[in-house]
Amino acid sequence: MEEKLIAPCGMNCSLCIAYQFWEKDLNKKGFHRKYCPGCIPRGENCTYMANQCELLGKGKVRFCFECEVFPCKRLKALDKRYRTKYHMSMIDNLEFIKGHGIERFLVKEEEKWRCPECEEFICAHNGLCLNCNIEKLQLNKKYRWNDY
């Protein structure tokens, strides 16, 4: 896991389905999904927040917790969706990074999201290891955490 894959909003891009599809080039297996190399690597700062936040849009902060209005209304709404659907919290991620540093966060994330079978990372958007369980996604392209 790399620091550059932690977006300013606290999203761990290495767990994102668009990143994992890009990394593994999974459209070759019959999918038609958008690819993404991550917010920071593609120069977006933060895909979901930058157009609403001047500090993020202009790259003036590395993480949202550096802002005086953290957590803002938009981040709270995004966080609620991710807590509910994807078993993760951007705000919790940012609080951990703020309190313990990015290196400890990366270690924690690796432990939490590593597939016990193959050591790849589980996708936060569907709860699958896209290395071990790609056939589940091929059978149900809209597979989500609660489908099993």
Determine the 3-state secondary structure of 132 from DSSP.
Answer: coil
Q: Tell me what pLDDT residue 59 has.
A: 80
The two tokens of residue 34 are 């958008």
Q: Is the pLDDT of residue 98 over 80?
A: yes
- The per-residue pLDDT for range 39-95, each reduced to its tens digit, is 877 676 666 666 778 888 778 889 999 999 999 999 999 999 999 999 999 999 999
Q: Is the pLDDT of residue 24 over 90?
A: yes
Q: Tell me what pLDDT residue 54 has.
A: 81
Q: What is the C-alpha R_g of the chain? A: 15
The upper half-sphere exposure of residue 144, i.e. CA atoms within 13 Å in the direction of its Cβ, equals 7
The two tokens of residue 44 are 């977006």
Report the C-alpha gap between 32 and 34 in whole angstroms: 7
- The per-residue pLDDT for range 102-135, each reduced to its tens digit, is 999 999 999 999 999 999 999 999 999 999 999 8
Q: Is the pLDDT of residue 16 over 80?
A: yes
The two tokens of residue 87 are 């078993």
- What's the mean pLDDT when you consider all of the chain? 89
